[in-house]
């Protein structure tokens, strides 16, 4: 056998196959234990946004809305069938991200071929919890509420089956491809109860030997149970059996325990891979109930802090966000295991829960602006009393009402602190936030209290200094255009200009002395301008508003001498008269209006036209005669 195992391992290594040898450790409930912090993130709970969608159908009966004792129910899942159910907005990972879960019931196997074996699956609307170890029929009934863990009913009839639950980041799972972004859940833990099988012993060769039981399938696991003795309950004896890395009930005389009983419940803790929890369950007849909750207290997560900017300048509004996951430490109290086991530390509700953060003195914060939201984005600020003292120390303390409310546990809380960088900062290159402290106090049944302290990392952001450039009317001292803001680092050089100002309308008084420089603090640069007033010169046809030429715009300072003209008007127009304000002194925006009439040229007399032609004709004749006389003289020589 050893030789075979070594060959198998070698063969697996050659093929690069991951080999996992599952190993289960069994512990009594009297074992002192604190759950690792990440194991609470497997909790599935009901929120206002939770929905159920059947991805793959199986079984003959279903109730997908709240009906009776079920929120969802499916029965007769037979060999070869699978039930795949998407439960949206139903979990939170350690980073405070909302998750969806895909639940699959598969690998149904009848104990015997002739049996009508099948599996069932349900999500309960209500369940019962035994109040008295000596009287299991005395029970408390709990009804499913929003933000409380879901309770699964895993049933079999002469069969065994498997349940797998895969966690995905909310909204990323696509049923057509059966893929999504995994939810970064690394461990799972839950309590299973209502072990009450009537076993005939016929199926000794099967995994559960006919008994009602469970087997974790992910890998190494720890199973906690009442290991010390055979129990007496309602006159019937029963005992647990450790087998096949799981656990089963062996009911010697038969019993029917209809409630969660702290003598016969089982708690399972297992690491998981690929954000998928797997569990095998089975029995000759009967149902098991399963909830992702622990009778042992979960350890407290570290707070995480983020700043929503990399740099900030004075006046910028930004946020410190402190995310704290509160583990599912409520239902351990409901289980009341300490009634049966005095040494078990199971009063897991917090007596106090406080988050503190000392903000940098250069930051302004207002208590009334601080908000707390959960992973659904719901405003739950009323769960906390929030103060900010004179030293900028923010404190958020959970109220007693919240600490005693089941809906407070198993959720992520984001404390959002709006901040503004003060205006008078000098020579600071960065601001480092203080550590975030989280303190929670739990007390056991004997009122012996224990503190848990967690501290987050510090965070920094770069300080940017503002160069505010104002462009001001020298008379009114008001901006003539929107100010320009430059953001610079400490000791960085800056330079400003006034290229955005129309110099035909505004004249610079003088260049500011600090128009350029080196950053040591916030800088304000003021450019002052004298306004130039506009003189609009119009050219109209007399008696109308018809323009005979384009208007001219002239700009002068107040009290300047000005003059206008009409050189741009064609000569075919005659000026009626010179406007009274054609020249003068600027008193403000002005108009100068010139008016013109057309110039008319009449036809000249006829004589005026013929006389020039007669003169020109006589001149031409004279020239011809003169030339002829010259020729005659030449011939005579």
Integer Cα distance of 354 and 399 in angstroms: 10
For residue 51, pLDDT over 70 is answered with yes
Percent of the chain with pLDDT over 90: 48
Report which of 280, 263, 147 is spatially closest to residue 194, judged by C-alpha positions: 263
DSSP 131-165: EETTEEEEEEEEE--TTEE-EEEEEEEEEEEEEEE
For 320-336, how does the pLDDT look when each residue is reduced to its tens digit (9 = 90+)? 999 999 988 877 666 65
Superfamily of domain 533-598: Putative peptidoglycan bound protein (lpxtg motif) (3.10.20.320)
For 467-479, how does the pLDDT look when each residue is reduced to its tens digit (9 = 90+)? 999 999 999 999 9
Residue 33 DSSP symbol: -
Q: Are 375 and 98 in contact (CB under 8 A)?
A: yes
Give CA separation, 383 vs 168, 300, 375, 408, in Å: 28, 18, 14, 8
CA 84, chain centre distance (Å) = 28
Q: Are 299 and 329 in contact (CB under 8 A)?
A: no
DSSP 497-521: --TTS-TTTEEE----TTSEEE-SB
Query: Please, where are the H alpha helices in 331-486?
Result: 331-335, 400-403
Q: How many CA atoms does the CB half-sphere of 340 hold within 13 Å?
A: 27
| Domain 465-527, CATH among 3.40.50.300, 1.10.10.60, 3.10.20.320, 3.90.1150.10 | 3.10.20.320
The enclosing H or E element of 622 equals: helix 607-636
Integer Cα distance of 337 and 335 in angstroms: 5
Q: How confident is the model at residue 300 (pLDDT cuts 50, 70, 90)?
A: confident
Q: What is the pTM of this model?
A: 0.75
Strand partners, 311: 462
Q: Where are the domains of the chain?
A: 2-291, 304-458, 465-527, 533-598
Read off the pLDDT of each residue in 599-628 and give the average, rounded to a whole number: 53
The confidence score (pLDDT) of residue 75 equals 85
- 4 class by beta-carbon count within 10 Å (0-12 exposed, 13-18 middle, 19+ buried): exposed
244 three-state secondary structure: coil
Q: Are 354 and 387 in contact (CB under 8 A)?
A: no
- Same topology between domain 465-527 and domain 533-598: yes
For 106-158, how does the pLDDT look when each residue is reduced to its tens digit (9 = 90+)? 999 988 888 888 999 999 887 766 555 555 556 667 777 777 889 899 988 88
Percent of the chain with pLDDT over 70: 77
Integer Cα distance of 72 and 59 in angstroms: 12
153-191 CB burial, b ≥16 within 10 A, e <16: bbbbbbbbbbbbbbbbbbeebeeeeeebebbebbbbbbb
| Domain 304-458, CATH among 2.60.40.740, 2.60.40.10, 1.10.10.10, 3.40.640.10 | 2.60.40.740
Report which of 468, 324, 449, 299 is spatially closest to residue 383, judged by C-alpha positions: 324
Q: What are phi and psi of 433, to 5 degrees?
A: -75, 155
């Amino acid at each position: 056998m050893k030789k075979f195992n070594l060959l198998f391992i070698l063969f697996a290594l050659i093929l690069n196959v991951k080999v996992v040898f599952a190993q289960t450790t069994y512990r009594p409930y009297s074992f002192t234990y604190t759950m690792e912090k990440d194991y609470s993130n497997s909790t599935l709970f009901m929120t206002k946004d939770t929905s159920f969608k059947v991805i793959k159908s199986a079984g003959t009966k279903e109730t997908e809305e709240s009906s009776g004792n079920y929120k969802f129910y499916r029965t007769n899942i037979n060999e070869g069938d699978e039930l795949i159910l998407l439960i949206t907005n139903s979990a939170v990972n350690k980073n405070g991200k909302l998750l969806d879960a895909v639940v699959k019931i598969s690998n149904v196997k009848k104990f015997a071929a002739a049996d009508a074996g099948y599996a069932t699956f349900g999500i309960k609307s209500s369940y019962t919890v035994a109040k008295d170890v000596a009287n299991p029929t005395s029970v408390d009934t709990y009804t499913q509420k929003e933000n409380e863990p879901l309770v699964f009913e895993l049933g079999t009839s002469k069969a065994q089956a498997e349940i797998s639950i895969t966690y995905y980041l909310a909204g990323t799972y696509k049923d057509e491809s059966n893929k999504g972004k995994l939810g970064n859940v690394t461990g799972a833990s839950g309590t299973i109860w209502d072990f009450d099988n009537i076993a005939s012993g016929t199926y000794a060769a099967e995994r559960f030997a006919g008994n009602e039981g469970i087997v974790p399938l992910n890998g190494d696991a720890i199973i906690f149970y009442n290991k010390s003795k055979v129990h007496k309950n309602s006159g019937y004896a029963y005992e647990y059996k450790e087998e096949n890395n799981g656990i089963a009930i062996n009911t010697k005389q038969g019993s029917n325990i209809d409630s969660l009983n702290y003598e016969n419940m089982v708690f399972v803790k297992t690491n998981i891979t690929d954000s998928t929890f797997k569990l095998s369950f089975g029995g000759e007849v009967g149902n098991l109930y399963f909830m992702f909750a622990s009778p042992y207290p979960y350890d407290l997560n570290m707070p995480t802090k983020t700043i929503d900017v990399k740099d900030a300048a004075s006046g910028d509004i930004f946020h410190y966000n402190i995310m704290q996951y509160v583990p599912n430490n409520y239902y351990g109290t409901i289980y009341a295991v300490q009634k049966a086991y005095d040494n078990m530390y199971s009063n897991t509700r917090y007596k106090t829960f406080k988050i503190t953060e000392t903000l940098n003195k250069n930051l302004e914060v207002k208590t009334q602006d601080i908000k707390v939201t959960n992973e659904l984005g719901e405003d739950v600020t009323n769960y906390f009393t929030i103060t900010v003292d004179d030293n900028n120390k923010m404190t958020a303390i959970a109220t007693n009402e919240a600490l005693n409310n089941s809906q407070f546990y198993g959720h992520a809380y984001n404390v959002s602190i709006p901040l503004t960088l003060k205006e008078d900062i000098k020579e600071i290159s960065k601001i480092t936030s203080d550590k975030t402290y989280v303190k929670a106090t739990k007390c056991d049944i004997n009122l012996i209290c224990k503190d848990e302290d967690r501290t987050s990392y510090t965070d920094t952001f770069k300080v940017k200094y503002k160069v505010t450039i104002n462009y001001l009317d020298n008379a009114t001292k008001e901006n003539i255009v929107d100010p320009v803001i430059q953001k610079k680092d400490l000791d960085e050089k800056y330079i400003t200009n006034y290229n955005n100002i129309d110099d035909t309308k505004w004249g610079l008084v003088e260049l500011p002395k600090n128009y350029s420089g080196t950053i040591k603090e916030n800088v304000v640069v003021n450019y002052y301008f004298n306004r130039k007033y506009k003189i609009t010169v119009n050219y109209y046809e007399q008696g109308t508003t018809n323009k005979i030429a384009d208007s001219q715009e002239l700009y002068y300072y107040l009290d300047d001498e000005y003059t206008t003209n009409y050189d741009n008007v064609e000569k075919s127009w005659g000026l009626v008269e010179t406007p009274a304000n054609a020249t003068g002194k600027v008193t403000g925006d002005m108009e100068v209006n010139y008016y013109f009439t057309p110039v008319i040229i009449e036809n000249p007399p006829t004589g005026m036209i013929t006389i020039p032609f007669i003169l020109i004709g006589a001149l031409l004749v004279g020239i011809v005669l003169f030339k002829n006389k010259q020729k005659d003289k030449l011939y005579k020589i």
